[in-house]
Structures are given as C-alpha cells and as structure tokens.
Amino acid sequence: MLVPLGYVVWYTWSLGPVATWELLARPRVGELVRNTAALLVGVVALSTGLGVTCAWLVERTDLPLRRVWHVLFVAPLAIPAFVNSYAWVSITHAVQGYAGAVLIVSLSYSPLVYLPAVAAMRTLDPALEEVAHSLGDDRWTVFRRVVLRGIRPAVLGGALLVGLHLLAEFGALQMLRFPTLTTGIYDQYRSAFNSPAANVLASVLVLSCLLLLLGELWVRGDAALWRVGAGSARSVDRVKLGAMRAVALAGVAGLVTLSLGVPVSSLVHWLRVGSSTAFPVDELIAATATTAGLGIGAAALTAAMALPVVWLAVRHRGGLSNVIERATFTAHALPGIVVALALISVSVRSVRPLYQTLPLLLVAYAILFLPRAVVSVRSSLEHAQPVLEDVARSLGSRPAAVLARVTIPLIRNGLGAGAALVFLAVSTELTATLLMAPIGTATLATEFWSNSSSLAYGAAAPYALLMVLVSLPATWLLSRQTRGGVLT
Amino acid sequence: MSRVSVKSLRKAFGPAEVLVGIDLEVDDAEILAVLGPSGCGKTTLLRIIAGFLDPDAGLVALDGATVADGHSSVPAWRRRVGYVPQEGALFPHLDVRGNILFGLPRRERTYERLAEMLRLAELPQRVASAYPRELSGGQQQRVALARALAPEPRVVLLDEPFSSLDAALRLSAGREVSSVLRSAGTTAVLVTHDQGEALSLADRVAVMDDGLIRQVDTPLQLYGAPVDQRIGRFVGDANLLTAKLEGDVARCALGPVALRAQPPSADGALVTLLVRPEQLRVTAAPECGQARVEEVVFYGPHALVRLALDDGTGLQARVKPADVPAVGDRVTVEVTGISGVFA
C-alpha cells in the first residue's frame, strides 16, 4: 500500500534538493502547476455550485418531475469523463482549452457533489428548519443558516472528491488539450522512460493531493454538524417556486442537455457513422472479455484485502489498526499515474520479472481502489454488532465458523457492493492500464483511447458505449451508497 | 445442570480496576441476579464467565472444572455457557429456526428439536420461519433464550435482557423468561440494574458495587435486612432515622422502636434506623399531629406520601388508597417495623 508513496518520497529525497529544485524551477513546470490550480478552482467551484443547486431544487422545492431529474442528475456518473470529452471534442474543437475543460469536467463531476448533498438534505431534520422559521427567519435565511450549514460537511466531502478526481484526471484533459500535472507526467514518461522529471512532477502531484485532503479536514472542523439521525419520515415543507418555476425548469433542462444530451447524441451519431464503415465484433468481444477478467480479478483481490483491514479497524480499534486503515486512504492522494509510475520503477529495479505483468497491474488496481472497498465493507461491518459474534462463540462456534456463519453473511451486501464498485472502476480505468498493461492486452478503455486519440471517432464509439453500459450499475450502486454519506 | 463458582476474580482495563476480587457461588438450577448500578463491573463479570474476556487473576469454575484462572482459559466455544445479551441479538440473516438451531451440531438440527424449543419458550410453531425483524420485542427475547438453551448449556447468562423492552412488557417478559428457565431446570445468572427485576425474578440476589460483591441473599432477606445503609437504599426506598439505643428499644423522633436483633452498639449510642415507606403508619390528627403532609403521589394500589416532621426531618410513607391524606394535613406517624439498624 505504501510502496507508491514511499517510492515517490524516496526518489525525490535521493535526487537531492539541488537537482529537485532544478527540475522544478522550469517554466514548463510553473505552467503545469498554474494550469492545474486554475482548473482546480474553476471545476470545484462550478461543480459544487451545480451540485448544491440541483440538490436544493430536488429536495427542497416543488420543481415538477423531481424523481426524473434526480436520476438525470446522477446519470452523468455513468459516462467516464474522458468519454464525455471525446463526445464534445468530436463535435467541436472549440471546447479545447481552459473554459471548455472547466465546463466539461464540471458537468462530469457535479454528481460527486450532488449525491452527498442530496443525502445530507434528506437526513437533515426538517424540524430544524421549522424551528428556524418559528424564530423569524425567512426562507433564504433558513437555507443559508440551517440547510447550508447542515450539509456543509457532505458538500465539502463531495468537493474534495471532485478535487482529487481532477488531480488524477488524465484522459479528459489530454483530449481537451489542457495540460496539467498529470498529463505532464504522462508525456514525460512517454518521451523519456523513468525520467527524473516525471518523478519530481509526481511528487508535486502527491503533495497537492495531500494538501487538498488536509485542507478539507481543516475547513470541515468538527464533523458533528452533520448528524445522521434515524431519518425522519416527515416530508418537508417545500419552497413554492411560483413564477421562477419556468426558469428553474429551463435551467435544469439546459444542464441535462449539456451533461447528458450532448455526449449521448454524439455517441449515437458516431456509432451510426462508425458501424457503416467497420464494426469489429471480434475485437469488441475480446476487449470486453479482457476488461471483465481484469475487473473480476481486481475485485476479488481488493475485497480480500479490504476484509482484514476493516476487521482490524472496526473490531480492534487502536494505534496500529488506525494506521493501517489510514494508510489505505493515502491511495486517495495517489492518482493512477503516480501508482503506475512507482510500481513500474520499483518492479524494474527490484523485481524485474513482475514488470508489465498481470499480477502487477492487479496490484495497482487494488491500491487505487482499496478505499472504495474499505468504505463499503466498513459501513456494513459497523452495522454488524460484535455481540452477534459473542453469541455465536457461546453457542460453540470456533472463530473460523463464526466468520463463515455470522460475520461474512452479515457483511455480504457490503462486500458485494465493494467488489462491484472495484469491478466497475477497473473497467473504465485508463491511466494505469495504459502504462502497465502487459503488451497486447487491450481493454475497452485502452482500445477506445487509441482509436479516439488517432481521431478515429467512429471506431472509438462502440467501446465508449460498452463502457457506459458497464458503468450504469456502478452509478446505481453509488447513488444507493450515498445514504451513508460517504462516496469515493 | 451445573454450578458456577467465581473466586477472587480481578480485572482491570488499563489503570481502571473494574473487578477487585469477586467471590460468587451459583447453585445448581438456581437463578441468581447480579444487581448493581451501571458501570459497577457486572457486565465485565458476565463476559469473563462466558469466556469473551480473560480475568487478570482469580478463578472461574464450572461444575468444579476450572475454565479461567488468569493464566490460561478455555475458549468461549468450549465452555457450554449460554448467553442472552441485551435486545436478544438474534442473527438478522437467519430465521427463527436458523437462530434456535444455530448452536446444535448439523445432525441434531431436527424439526423435533425445534418444536421442543419453541414449546419450551412458549412460542407458536408458526414463528419458525419468521425473521427477527418480524417479531415483537418479547418474542425476540424468548427466541434468544431458546437459542441459548438449545445446546443444553451448563449455565445461561442474561445481560440486562429486558432493558430495551417497555415497562409493561418488561414485567411479563421477565416472568416468562424465569418460568422458561425454571422449567428447563437451568442454572442462570441474570445481570440487571433494575431492583424490581432482580427481586422479583431471582432465587438469590448478589448486590455488586465498585467491583465487589457487597451482599448475596434471598430477595426477601436483602430487602428486609440489608447489611449496610447503601445497599438498603439501593434495593428500595428507605427512610433513615437517627435513634438512641435504650435496652431493647431504639428511641427516635417517632418514639421508641422495638429492636428485633442484637444492636450493633452499646447502650446509649446513636444509631441509624432504616425504615421502608410501608413500615410507617400515617394517621390523621388535626390537633396533635407531629408531621405535615408535603406531597402525595398516587399510584393506584398505593400512594407515596412525603412528610415533614416538626423538627424538619423528611420522611416517605406508603399508604393504602383509603388512607391517603391531603397535602397540608397534620398527621401522626408510627413505626411498625424496621429493616436495619446501623452504627
């Protein structure tokens, strides 16, 4: 788990301050950092604004067809950001550059804020708002003083995810021709294998991720603000939009057109154009099979790794188990490109036979997606009372039997959801797969990538469609998981 | 079935000593209640007997065979000790049948055994296929008991089994559980912080406080003759009256009171009398009363009357509905018996 982080730190350290500084103090690095920071501010602001506004419209107003809108607001999750970018770029090159990158990436990421915001508003006790009204606050003041404050930790968590996803984003930004640290690392790596420059950039990237994580912790302060209560069944008194209703409807319709309408219609268009020229059924099937195989392998490995981590963290709280659990979460601060780079370098130096092999790729997936599995296994294990295990032991079950007959059945759902999430994340993973897949291994994402980056938009479309289809169940699972308030 | 014996048991969590030398004997087929305020260590004691925790020192023996002695310990799954935790803790992923037969070897998980256990727990046969969430609180409690009894344990431990039930249900659930335990002839240890529960369900009650057993007695003896003031106040409402010993009587503000046993101090010494509210007789006496009625709380079968003696002493008396005075009335108060004399 700590190999990638350790490697980055060790490498920068061994390079020495002078050499590191020389590598950092180049105009190109400055440009990449400025680009990344500007993009971060723009995307986090826009996707948070969109996410919170949509959540408020769905949960607190009398907007018509709220259930339909809810599904439509979550749906962009099913379209990987690099597929969305491809859809836009294949229509117009005008979206390449800063403004386009902010718009398109925000459209793709806003569900990451929307989902926790909706979940938090749902669990926020309406009685609080009623009390505020009775104390003389008008609707807008109540929203500001009660609702916004109440959902702040959830929204911050969502914004943090947007930030971390953005720092790790490679495919979309490469497609939108907006160079950031991540695309910079990739280009360096491709031009000069294992170059010091790539590794130094990687340490800057890791540092940015860690700063983001710490910043979120600091801003959030005490997390007790968001109490998830028993979930009040009472319905809230919704804001009557009145004349604003038409404006709101036009707004959400426009948003959905941009976030779903454009990519879907672009995909359909290229599918029709593409299928008239070539429809390589064999290659599609082969890529789908490879993707599914990798996904199943990674899901099994990751779920198996998550179980002991969660077990220690939940049942044996203490110094060491906390450290182990936190260590898995450093993966949040490790973009796919950094993990790939570190594992490649370490394997080339120390365990040569592993270089560009399936096991190493699976390890990279496990490192990247372990937090997802840990989160979903953890919440289910926390609901499984330890007393049930005590009872089973008093009824004569040995520890292994307790695990098989009580603990695993109790967390079956969490384990399954965790494995499914990993499977689905792996099936749309691009960066690490591009760098680490054994020669000749073609997944849906890498095939899509090689076609779309050689401007063969039509040939890329079927792969994109398959990826979207594969992502649909993940979207559904994620939208259910947000009830716990955690989304990764 | 079986006997439990605990000798000089000690357990500390870090610097906090929870058990500081517990001695306890539970006889065959006896229901013993361990009564104590929350945080007194009674759940820790139960978990050590069950084998979920190991003691630091001391000894736990089941039927004369040592199962834990501070060095080695027989694991929980080999002790044959049944455990009924708070709220029953039924396995939510199994139906009633799966829960009750959980502790039996595969070949003994028969329909006959299930039917027998359901009958013992006074549960209808049709609940066998129900899931825990479909059962009422009382039913869950009885399924948990049937599950604990099915493998024929040497002793059943019940940890505050009724605390999650509402007051009305608690009484009937308690009676049902104790009748099931008695008809199964099982040795049982019941941990509770509820005096009424301990006194009404157990054969004997062990009062525990600050990691020690203070007194073990029958409910009647414990209520009527506690060994010190603290226990006397803990097991029921109590009036404490200062009195002076004079031969075989103690003279207090309410007059002379006959002593039943040898007093703890010499003649002329000051002692404290423990008088239960029902040991005071209150009579209306508008002219010559010695106390004033301050408050009356009416419960139906009886009423609690708070009185102030003319010297300022506060008293509580339990009176029959027919004898309930009005607030402000002048009354005389008479002691009809005492539950303890303490130096």
pLDDT digit string, tens, across residues A62-80 = 888 888 898 888 888 888 8
Which residue in A253, A218, A256, A263 sits closest to A457, CA to CA?
A: A263
Q: Tell me the range of A202-211, A220-229, A317-326, B204-213 where mean pLDDT is highest.
A: B204-213
Question: Pick from A390, A396, A406: which is nearest to B52 by CB?
Answer: A390
Tokens for B128, please give them: 């066998």
**Which residues in chain B touch residue A395, judged by CB atoms under 8 angstroms apart?**
77, 82-83, 102-103, 147-148, 151
Q: Among A94-108, A471-485, B47-61, B138-152, where is mean pLDDT lowest?
A: A471-485
CB contact under 8 A, A388 and B91: yes
Q: How far is B38 from chain A (nearest CA, A)?
A: 19
Give the chain B residue nearest A387 (alpha carbons).
B89
Q: Which of A387, A396, A397 sits opposite B89 (nearest CB)?
A: A387
Compute how many other C-beta atoms are within 10 angstroms of the C-beta atom of residue A185. 28
Q: Does B85 contact A396 at a Cβ distance shorter than 8 Å?
A: no
Contacts of B147 in chain A (CB under 8 A): 391, 395
Distance CA A464, CA A227 (A): 40
Kindly state whether B161 is in contact with chain A, defined as any CB-CB distance less than 8 angstroms.
no
Provide the shortest C-alpha distance from residue A229 to chain B (in Å): 19
Q: What is the DSSP string of B106-146?
A: GGG--HHHHHHHHHHTT--GGGGG--GGGS-HHHHHHHHHH
Distance from CA of A37 to the nearest CA of B (A): 49
Q: Are B125 and B78 in contact (CB under 8 A)?
A: no
> Along the 343 residues of chain B, how does pLDDT read in single tens digits?
589 999 999 999 988 899 999 999 999 999 999 999 888 889 999 999 999 999 999 999 999 899 999 889 999 999 999 999 887 889 988 999 999 999 999 899 999 999 999 998 889 999 999 999 899 888 888 899 999 999 999 999 999 888 777 777 788 888 888 888 998 889 999 999 999 899 999 999 999 998 899 999 999 999 999 999 999 999 999 999 999 988 888 888 888 888 877 777 778 888 999 999 999 999 988 888 889 999 999 999 999 999 998 888 899 999 999 889 999 999 999 999 888 888 8
pLDDT band at A329 (very low <50, low <70, confident <90, very high): low
Structural Rg of chain A based on CA atoms: 23
A409 interaction partners in chain B (CB closer than 8 Å): 93
Residues in Cβ contact with B82 at an 8 Å cutoff, skipping those fewer than 6 apart: A394, A395, B148, B149, B151, B153, B155, B156, B157, B186
Q: What residues of A are in contact with residue B80 (Cβ under 8 Å)?
A: 396
User: Which of B264, B267, B246, B263 is closest to B255 using CA atoms?
Assistant: B246
Q: Closest residue of A to B152, CA-based?
A: A395
pLDDT grade for A225, boundaries at 50, 70 and 90: very low
pLDDT of residue A232: 44
Is the CB of residue A319 less than 8 Å away from at least one CB of chain B?
Answer: no
From the list A1, A20, A15, the residue with the least C-alpha distance to A366 is: A1
| Residue at A290: amino acid letter | T
**Distance separating alpha carbons of residues B258 and A188, to the nearest angstrom:** 101
Q: What is the pLDDT of residue B66?
A: 93
Which SS3 state, helix, strand or coil, does residue B209 take? Answer: strand
Measure the CA–CA gap between A454 and A440, rounded to whole angstroms: 18
pLDDT at A484: 41
User: Are B50 and A390 inside 8 Å of each other by CB?
Assistant: yes
pTM summary value: 0.72
Characterize the bridge pairing of strands B31-35 and B204-209: parallel
Of B50, B86, B92, the CB nearest to A394: B50
Which residues in chain A have Cβ-Cβ distances shorter than 8 Å to B89? Answer: 385, 387-388, 391
Query: What whole-number distance in Å separates Cα of residue B31 and Cα of residue B51?
Result: 20
Identity of residue A299:
A
pLDDT score for A147: 81
Q: Which residue of A has its CA nearest to B146?
A: A395
d(CA A120, CA A192): 47
Partner B contacted by A416 (CB < 8 A): no
